[in-house]
Amino acid sequence: MNNRTNEIIACTALTEGTYCGAELHKGKTYGPVNLPLCTLHAAQHFTFYTQTYRNNVLGELEKAGTVSHTPGLTYVIELPNSRIKIGTTRDAGTLVTRWKSISREYQAEGHEGFIEPLAVLEGGASLEASLHNRFRHLRIDDEFGEQFRAEPELTDYALAEGIPAHLNDAVTAYEQWRDQRRSKRKLSKALEAAFTWNA
């Protein structure tokens, strides 16, 4: 026996009158009010919260022309799982770092590809929220990471916005890193195959 028997250890989300019962997201309760939710239900809750409160408020302010965006950059990228991510970061330096780390996260989960930049816009968290609101009907609610379906409505918008010239160096730095890593992976796969063949 231990003294933690009162802890809730399973997801208490109700679906059609039945408790979910799945393992808790990251093994603990979720959010500021400690909801006992599994990863799927925590992701759905997070999506509902951001769409209903944060993004909606900022989207309305922008429509009314009463918001000038917070400093920073907002990027639109295609993820290795073919979904779209709209995210924000401080500047050109952190932009490249972020793109690399997202690519690495997906590769750690077994994806082959890299993120592909589609657009970068001037404006930080408030612009990001405004775009999340604008494309909310494309949002995927079963995963964290604020992902969107790659519908032409969103990809055409992103490609039309494009990447401003002053960020060309940042994009080139990312692409060089990507290409190097890609050829390293090809080489190690080839070596692996050769060794398997000889074994």
Binding site for Zn ion (CB under 5 A): 11, 13, 20, 22, 38, 41
- The secondary structure element, H or E, covering residue 140 is none
What letter does residue 51 receive in the DSSP assignment? I
Three-state secondary structure call for residue 189: helix
Q: What is the smallest separation between the CB atom of 46 and Zn ion, expressed in angstroms?
A: 13
Length of the chain: 199
Three-state secondary structure call for residue 71: coil
Q: What is the smallest separation between the CB atom of 79 and Zn ion, expressed in angstroms?
A: 24
Which lies closer to Zn ion via its Cβ, residue 41 or residue 69?
A: 41
What letter does residue 31 receive in the DSSP assignment? T
Which lies closer to Zn ion via its Cβ, residue 37 or residue 95?
A: 37
Which lies closer to Zn ion via its Cβ, residue 13 or residue 102?
A: 13
Q: What is the smallest separation between the CB atom of 40 and Zn ion, expressed in angstroms?
A: 6
Q: What is the smallest separation between the CB atom of 33 and Zn ion, expressed in angstroms?
A: 16
Which lies closer to Zn ion via its Cβ, residue 38 or residue 129?
A: 38
Question: Please, what's the largest Cα pairwise distance for the chain?
Answer: 68
Ramachandran angles phi, psi of 163, nearest 5°? -120, 125
